[in-house]
Amino acid sequence: MSAGNQKGNQRDTKNGLDALNGLKILDFTWVLAGPTATKFLADHGAEVIKIERRELGDRVRTTYPYAEDEPGTNRSGYFCNVNRGKYGVTLNLKDPRGIELIKKLVARSDVVFENFAAEVMAGLGLGYEQLKEIKPDIIMISMSGMGHTGPYQEFISYGPTLQALSGLTYLTGFPDRDPVGPGFSYSDFAGGWAGVLACLHALHYKNRTGKGQWVDVSQLEGLCVLMGPGFLDFSVNKRIPERMGNRHPFRKAAPHGAYRCEGEDKWCAITVFTEDEWQGFCRALKNPPWTREERFSTMTGRIENMEALDQLVEEWTNVRSAQEVMELLQREGVPAGVVQEAPDLVDKDPQLRHRGFWVELDHPELGIRKHEGVSFTFTKTPGRLKRPAPLLGEHNDYVFGEILGMTPEEIKKYTDEEVF
Residues marked active site are found at: 188
For 134-160, give one letter per residue: b (16+ CB within 10 A) or e: ebeebbbbbbbbbbbeeeebeeebebb
- Judge whether 188 and 160 are in contact, CB under 8 Å: no
Return the half-sphere exposure (C-beta side, CA atoms, 13 A cut-off) of residue 205: 15
- Judge whether 397 and 417 are in contact, CB under 8 Å: no
DSSP state of 347: I
- Judge whether 272 and 278 are in contact, CB under 8 Å: yes
Pairing of strands 336-338, 5-8: unpaired
Element (H, E) at 34: helix 33-43
- Judge whether 391 and 365 are in contact, CB under 8 Å: yes
Element (H, E) at 359: strand 358-363
Element (H, E) at 411: helix 408-416
- Judge whether 124 and 150 are in contact, CB under 8 Å: no
Closest-CA residue to 86 (of 124, 131, 37) = 37
- Judge whether 144 and 116 are in contact, CB under 8 Å: yes
* 159-166 vs 186-209: helix crossing angle, rounded to 10: 90
* 322-331 vs 275-284: helix crossing angle, rounded to 10: 130
Distance in angstroms (rounded) separating the CA atoms of residues 76 and 71: 12
Element (H, E) at 202: helix 186-209
